[in-house]
Structure 1
């Protein structure tokens, strides 16, 4: 058996030359052979511009096959730094400066504010021109000015080189730089491929943003590493999901809970497409999937829903529920699916099975440390080399991990500790509630009070008093939200995740 891939170049060697690697709605397939030649040409082009191994190339492109191909091609010889195209000029200035990027790649004709920022910072700008007639994701790069000086290190990246840099979401502090090595991202892709039993017969439908670890590793690299194919959409759109499904005929897709809920909202009118396109499984990650949504997804699609647990610092996946015939455990994020997992007490020592503490991990997919941040690294790693996830959870005797909350999100109401997820799950049982996010509301005497933001199901009505009454029959009095806000939509982060931290401020309640 071949040794496992430890670089992006090796990872895409899996597919047959003439097998489709990338497709897009309405596009021609790009074969693995063609993808490999794009990767080789791009690395040579970057080297000719003086950009080599370990140097950062910021990528600001819309979601789609070109973004997927550019991420792999750039990362195979330099360091990919994908950024959210929706950022404003001030944000681009922060990220491009913080990353010390050497080059920015944007689409031909793009008027992204990133271009003016790059020019102001004296950074090179390359324009990407799609060549869809050669397959979805095929592109050429054009550079302003002539060739650069030869880079210190040319050619393809090696296992220890940094393949990908992303920032943490920074909900409570300045975003931290997470450098992920070639070995880290390949290990995570391998872990996902193994846990989901990907083969060359699998076809994924990617709806995740490709400036985020979930989409890059689970959406793109894991299936390609098995020689499978991925249909790259322009980004999530509930109105187009079923027409894409009908065209791409996927065997699976991965998403965040808000996407699954939006898809369920349109499922009833698309029953024929669902019946004609049987899925092997549906994957959910990046936020907790309410058990009610999991059940509804399984009933609607007639496929198992595999909930997984990931974070940027682990190059995405840490735990995953198993595929049938093994038992999936709703409400749990499954068993270790890559790194070692333990639950520790405040002293950093492992706790007995069944006790609640902080989840820690270590393994080949886990970053070596945040960049230029000794203080954060001293806090993030234990003496035994475990990485502290910041999540609170409990392990069952048979190894299933249940997350009880994010340590920073636990609500401290006058000394009583409340897990927002527990309150969410009770409120979601109310027949009128479609979405719910429980969060901390600052309180002058208690420190924090429980509050919840709710979106009602179409065609239903309910008032705050009624929902609080429903909660008070099912929760201890101190857990019942003191304030319930009914909204048409709950504010989300860039990746579609509902964010508890800072929600009181966003809603003007603090």
Structure 2
């Protein structure tokens, strides 16, 4: 596929011979589950529930409907659905039709989706309906731009477009395909680190391993009930072990639309949820909510926390009030996953972010000159392995910056490695803000803000926040009198910027501080604004 960087032949052969890659198409996870556990509940949301056999049939019908539209091998389709059963039907339907799902997030807006359309050449979009935002209107605006978008498919009131419910009634034959499992199965979206978000191609081989090995490490079984509390298109709740890992062992998956403690605790009690994944901000909120919520998540046996570093004090509190089986997760949609293990002593669970999933995860921790640092010393993490990508999709310039000549991914994270192989995250190299589990590229936000006629200079920085982890602060030099935050966010809304990228506060400045070489000194700026 044009723009896809495959694994080098020698490493691919090693991963196959070592048993990491089984040559299984990703949608075979559902096929196998439907054979082994046909009558077990597979997926549940607020208004629907399907057994594995029913989900398997619906995926076949969706694939037939997509194929009848001419969507198949060689085509990409954007998927922007909320947490509900139709997300799973769409994912497996597209896989069976041979199309490439591009998993967007509900918070993405025109700017991000237009970028994804241009990169992927997508011919369709599957979107949901929401009273808080008109996704159908956004799809219509995107269709007016020069691109290859031909099919607008809506789960809900489709208006003049294709109704997802009707498409899923397809009665034609389901395509019988044998995909190349070393090629892309789906495209995840990056949080954006040096500019606009990038597309992350995950292959059938690497993603099946990602999900199934994670499920084994987390000791998931068919008796478990997994709650998708974070947006389902994220790598974390999708395959770490997430939706796919849970299905690989015949567990039940519950989709949650509201991660607030009141709603989530009720969902956990109703369905006897045993496992879920949260970002630190939500985990802290859930832990504090145990002081006032009457209904507590008593059935929860495994709580994964990742997406940002969890402080040791917070980890100890979460273990004491939510579940003793807290698991810290440090990973990236590009590949590498580190987990604390079930049974690890509290000092490891509280103070580290885990160790790599695979024996063949190769880690280099280097200083600013690229030289290895000894264990215990912080440095930038570089990685390659059986489930880490070798390049972003159709991003040649970014790949030159993000990958070494011998295929190591430059994560942009600073870590220290201990003698036992566990890692502690100590900071970041890349200029990003981790807000509520989402990665926001400061450069991209700054470019949007600079388009405002009243803004002369701007620096976007992350400031500590007890609920979000980091909040977005825009330090702005205005032309004339300052502009209020609501007008700033209206400007970003008009430019189609994702909801999670909007500033939480602005700080008018007479000038931005600079370093000796003339660059904006964000470190001193953060210290000044945090005081």
| TM class, shorter-length | 0.7 to 0.9
Q: Once the two structures are superposed, what CA deviation does each residue of 1:244-268 show, in whole Å capped at 9, x if it has no partner? A: 1111111111010111122123212
Measure the CA separation in 1 of the matches of 2:213 and 2:508.
42
Q: CA deviation at 1:344?
A: 2.5
1:331 pairs with 2:351: yes
State the partner residue of 2:388: 366
Q: CA deviation at 1:78?
A: 1.4
Q: CA deviation at 1:287?
A: 0.8
Measure the CA separation in 2 of the matches of 1:194 and 1:349.
35
Q: CA deviation at 1:93?
A: 2.6
Three-state SS of the structure 2 residue aligned to 1:390 is: strand
State the partner residue of 1:127: 153
2:84 to 64, 71, 88: 64
Give the conservation status (yes or no) of the 8 Å contact 2:193–2:431.
no
Give the conservation status (yes or no) of the 8 Å contact 1:251–1:281.
yes
Measure the CA separation in 2 of the matches of 1:455 and 1:270.
20
How many residue pairs get matched?
A: 425
Report the TM-score, using the length of structure 1 for normalisation. Answer: 0.73
Alignment of 1:388-403 (within 5 A): 388-403=410-425
Q: Once the two structures are superposed, what CA deviation does each residue of 1:196-229 show, in whole Å capped at 9, x if it has no partner? A: 1111111111111123222222331111112111
Give the conservation status (yes or no) of the 8 Å contact 1:282–1:305.
yes
State the partner residue of 1:39: 59
Three-state SS of the structure 1 residue aligned to 2:270 is: helix
1:230 pairs with 2:264: no
State the partner residue of 1:318: 337
1:195 pairs with 2:217: yes
Measure the CA separation in 1 of the matches of 2:411 and 2:29.
27
Measure the CA separation in 1 of the matches of 2:364 and 2:328.
19
State the partner residue of 1:53: 73
1:75 pairs with 2:67: no
Three-state SS of the structure 2 residue aligned to 1:269 is: coil
Q: Residues 346 and 171 from structure 1, CA distance in 2 versus in 1: closer, same or farther, beyond 3 angstroms?
A: closer
Give the conservation status (yes or no) of the 8 Å contact 1:126–1:142.
no
1:142 to 167, 177, 182: 167
State the partner residue of 1:104: 125
Three-state SS of the structure 1 residue aligned to 2:380 is: strand
1:284 pairs with 2:305: yes
RMSD between aligned alpha carbons? Answer: 3.9
Measure the CA separation in 1 of the matches of 2:226 and 2:253.
5
Q: Residues 186 and 456 from structure 1, CA distance in 2 versus in 1: closer, same or farther, beyond 3 angstroms?
A: closer
Q: Once the two structures are superposed, what CA deviation does each residue of 1:65-99 show, in whole Å capped at 9, x if it has no partner? A: 21233123223421111223344434433332232
Gaps of 5+ in 1: 131-138, 411-419, 422-438, 440-447, 458-490
Q: Residues 238 and 271 from structure 1, CA distance in 2 versus in 1: closer, same or farther, beyond 3 angstroms?
A: closer
Deviation larger for 398-407 or 101-110: 101-110
Gaps of 5+ in 2: 1-18, 157-163, 435-441, 443-458, 469-488, 490-496, 513-531
State the partner residue of 2:236: 214
Deviation larger for 244-253 or 102-111: 102-111
Q: Residues 86 and 246 from structure 1, CA distance in 2 versus in 1: closer, same or farther, beyond 3 angstroms?
A: same
State the partner residue of 1:416: none
Measure the CA separation in 1 of the matches of 2:137 and 2:216.
40
Give the conservation status (yes or no) of the 8 Å contact 2:327–2:341.
yes
